[in-house]
Amino acid sequence: MPRGTTSDHGWNLTVYGEQIAPVIRKLQEHGIRVSLFIDPDPEQIRLARDLGAERVELYTEAYAAAYNTPTRGHVVERYAEAAHAAMRYGMELNAGHDLNLNNLGYFLHNVPGVLESRSVMHLYVNRLNVDYLKLFSAIKML
């Protein structure tokens, strides 16, 4: 993100699309697959496709924040709509790093087409507190 030290939202491709388009092309010239980190907005997914990205990764903080609240269902619907848009546009889909063993299963059950999740770091950190067999059993239950 421009002028950011960490992510608190996805790229706004309406604002930054022209700026990052040449970077996307340069990466792809070197055989590098491009995934853009964006908010769960079908219009942003369309713009990502138009810029030539192969994949989008959805910023998931809003979902994680709503997970234990009555708004969880409404919030996850936004992500499901974004996932359906990604499928319509022929884009691959990743989910952001705010997912964990508690909220990942519900997300994956309700948001189709997720190929990868950046929650892997949480799983590694969790390994420090849980033995491997228990961790893999928890993942298999998702």
- The total of other beta-carbon atoms located within 10 Å of residue 73's CB is 11
pLDDT at 6: 47
pTM of the model: 0.79
pLDDT at 5: 43
Treating both helix axes as pointing N-terminal to C-terminal, what angle do 42-51 and 13-29 enclose, rounded to 10 degrees? 40
pLDDT at 11: 87
Q: Which residues of the chain have pLDDT under 50?
A: 1-2, 4-6
